[in-house]
Chain A
Amino acid sequence: AQSVTQLDSQVPVFEEAPVELRCNYSSSVSVYLFWYVQYPNQGLQLLLKYLSGSTLVESINGFEAEFNKSQTSFHLRKPSVHISDTAEYFCAVSDLGDYKLSFGAGTTVTVRA
């Protein structure tokens, strides 16, 4: 199983500032990569995913993540955050054909006005 490291447990950020959440995983075999978001007292919602193709993937609400195979990373970025982006963000990885997800410990993003 993959080991997933999210390098920051807490990220405070001001509204309209950029944010980057870092994610590294352990194995360089073919993988599926995901970012999930969890708002307070809710379940996990998919934010974006990499299955194949372009290494830069985007979400509908302005987030993007880039798959870097050589560095085994899948960092998440947003150029300008909103108060509503306050949530916990989880990076998840599964090996190709496995489908079981390994999760990072999560990064709590708190956006302040």
Chain B
Amino acid sequence: NAGVTQTPKFRVLKTGQSMTLLCAQDMNHEYMYWYRQDPGMGLRLIHYSVGEGTTAKGEVPDGYNVSRLKKQNFLLGLESAAPSQTSVYFCASSAPGKGYTEAFFGQGTRLTVV
């Protein structure tokens, strides 16, 4: 059971380059999230989606875009990377409603922007 899978696991970008992080979940969860983790700041929500074709801004959305074309996938894009976007990015998914349990997380993508 794969759960939540993120690709790539590591990436180094030059300032101004673009990239897309892919998140895939096989649990048929409605909700998906992108967080970034920085030392001493915990995890902060970038964008989230409450279903296929929907996206919404989280706490720190600037410089990022997302798409949820398929229920199982949630893409995070950086159009023009900046050193401030050096971080570890985590994707998560959950199932809302009566059966709600908890959010499941991927293993993370470590991004360095130089």
A87-113 vs B, CB cutoff 8 Å, 1 = contact: the mask equals 000101000010111111110000000
Q: Which of B44, B48, B100, B104 contacts A103 (CB 8 A)?
A: B44
| Residues of chain A contacted by B48 (CB below 8 angstroms) | 100
A74 to nearest B CB, angstroms?
A: 14
Which of A36, A49, A100, A103 gathers the greatest number of chain B CB atoms within 10 Å?
A100
B38-59 vs A, CB cutoff 8 Å, 1 = contact: the mask equals 0011111100100000000011
A99 touches B58 (CB 8 A): no
| Residues of chain A contacted by B103 (CB below 8 angstroms) | 34, 99, 101
Which residue of chain B has its CB nearest to the CB of A90? B42
Which of these binds chain A: B12-20, B66-74, B78-86, B105-113?
Answer: B105-113
* Given contact pairs A34-B102, A43-B108, A44-B105, A101 touches B45 in the complex (Cβ within 8 A): yes
| Contacts A42-B107, A46-B102 known; 10 new A-B pairs at CB < 8 A | A34-B102, A49-B102, A51-B101, A90-B43, A99-B31, A99-B103, A103-B42, A104-B42, A105-B40, A105-B42
**B25 sits at the interface (CB 8 A):** no
| Residues of chain B contacted by A102 (CB below 8 angstroms) | 45
Q: Which of A4, A43, A97, A104 contacts B105 (CB 8 A)?
A: A43
Interface residues of B (CB under 8 A from A): 31, 33, 35, 40-45, 48, 58-59, 90, 92, 94, 96, 100-108
Interface size class of A (residues with CB under 8 A): 20 to 34
Q: Which of A4, A42, A100 contacts B33 (CB 8 A)?
A: A100
B13 to nearest A CB, angstroms?
A: 20
A95 to B18, CA, bound (A): 35
A100 touches B106 (CB 8 A): no
**A68 sits at the interface (CB 8 A):** no
Q: Which of A4, A45, A99, A106 contacts B94 (CB 8 A)?
A: A99
Q: 8 interchain pairs (CB within 8 A)?
A: A43-B105, A43-B108, A44-B90, A99-B31, A100-B48, A101-B33, A103-B42, A106-B42
